[in-house]
Chains A and B, each alone.
Chain A
Amino acid sequence: MSMLSKFIEKGIETGTRMVPLEYQVKGSHVVQSVKQRLSLHRPIPVFVEKPIPDVATLSIDEIDVSNPFLYRQDKWESYFKRLRDECPVHYQKQSPFGPFWSVTRFEDILFVDKNHDLFSAEPIISLGPQPEGLEIETFIAMDPPKHDVQRAAVQGVVAPKNLKQMEDLIRARTADVLDHLPVNQPIDWVSHVSIELTARMLATLFDFPYEQRRKLAHWSDVAAGSPETFGGTSDTHEAFTTAAEAARLMSQLWREKAAKKATGEELGFDLISLLLSNDDTKDMINRPMEFMGNMVLLIIGGNDTTRNSMSGGVLALNQFPEEFTKLKNNPALIPSMVSEIIRWQTPLAYMRRVAKQDVELNGQTIRKGDKVVMWYASGNRDERNIDNPDQFIIDRKNVRNHLSFGFGIHRCMGNRLAEMQLRILWEEILQRFDNIEVIGEPKRNQSNFVRGYTEMMVSITPKA
């Protein structure tokens, strides 16, 4: 059990509802800082970037795809191709994240994802553990039956029925961002468009104070940047201060909505309002780890993924200019292109499981308790299932048959929202711009999980 949950449990005995969540996080921070000074804490790995060798120079055993620079240095395609061809279920005994199995082919990934009775999503779906003292509870990392109840409580917020009501608002906000972009000069597409639009969307989903929306993106970046969890660059102290701020503002938002409800005012279709209107979840604020878990999961889930697909689409159309021509000649291809962008980018590289029993998979014996990583990024480039998988083809046959949303009971809940946001973005782009030229190499994340861009300089040519 995590320090924070122990701390909270103890608090509950003594009438905890009096201790605001923010102070619970701060308390945990103090505990962790003391432990750190006393060297009682688990060591946090430090990643220093070095040039990654050509995969052909390594023995199979030496291949470590947990390296957080593999994507940044654009070596991931060759590394995963070698594993798919020579050792599709691969064991790495001594990575900085401990030993783990890599599952790299499409069909094997589908098998693992489908069989949640053989492979557990608990305690967490990252290669490494969550930061000590900041272990939140989220249903993405729970098995049935607990998973089913928790997911059911929140999935309505991004269900297609709800989305229909949001479409006009998303379109207006997208149009507003595009209309104010400087043209014919270098601008950073990531900050101006991808982060801005996803932050606006998150603020809408949470009915979060609009002027503070970039905070949501920042919280997500800090959480997804944890070095021991994903090989990222976040600092532990920053993680705690960020978590405390998030806890404070999200709790405050909850109380405001609850007060509204108490006066009989009609609630909106935002996440907290939906939780407040459901009998199973209307008291979630009294279960702080669950409350924060759901908030964090939705913030991260709705942030990196869509953001990096918004940038990835621009890059893909620059690398495959004939597809841009195809698109402009036939904008009806936008929905198909959206699926292809999501496959080609695969914004989240993997999900991790733990074997609940010994399992034979593609000639290897995975032992009970072993970590098993399903590399969606690799499966989406598996030649056995996808023709010319490294090519970006906007009118590809069976374009929706990709792994980026995962399969089985943990399949992405926000898939329809993501597709809608991207569809609207491209519909509005084609109305306005003739070209978005990527100038220079984009900067990529340091992470083994998030496959994205921290900067992508472009120059926009408006329509004549």
Chain B
Amino acid sequence: MNLLRLEFYKCRRRKIVLVCAAVLAVELIWIGAFFTRQDAEDMKWGWMLLLYNLSTVDAIVLPLSVATLASRNCELEHKGGTWKLLETMVTPVQLYDAKLAWGALVLAVLLIVRSGLFLAVGIAEGFSGPLPLARFGLFTLLSWTVSMMVYALQQGLSLRFANQAAALVCGIAGSFLGILSMLFPPALVRCVPWGYYGLMSLVFMDWNPVTRVTRFYWRWPPVTDVVLLLLWAAVFLIVGRTLFVRKEV
């Protein structure tokens, strides 16, 4: 707990809140712009349309945002050459875990606030149907899990390379692949870590080419996809942590 508290202390004046606010602003503008272009017929899908689009926006916005957060937290150690001081007081494993826990908490708060914000938007817009609180809760949990998988990858890169360009380029590529992967066949999407934002979506769209009618429907993420997601996370965690622990300062 002491190390986790210190991670927050170290991130003072690192504009972490600003990064999170920017993520929320981009998502809000994006979704807002989307809904202003919908007609009454489309708006009847209300909550489903919102969650479907949030998954899409997540796939674009979150990979780069997660990369930025991980980089902000790890860069300060490289910049100040603090590894050789810290590792005389704590083990590299403890350091890695504290940074991961910091990322987990920041992302959890960000995504909970994000969900609360869009719930409020939905209520304000007067979306029809009962308030899908449980589905929003699950959506938040799934977004957080995918983000943590990506965070483990980004933290590994940010810790490994002092120059944060590598990690940030990976984040940019992730944002691009995240949205592009939605056009891939499902089997291929499973091979793209950032594609899980779309793969884990609770709402799917069915477009009938004959009637040209679009239909949205709720669905539970397949267990195999959840297992694969956890597997990706485990691989990034184990590899990132091992490389960090083995590195001599």
Are A and B a genuine interacting pair, yes or no?
no
Interface residues of B, Cβ cutoff 8 Å to A: none
Interface residues of A, Cβ cutoff 8 Å to B: none
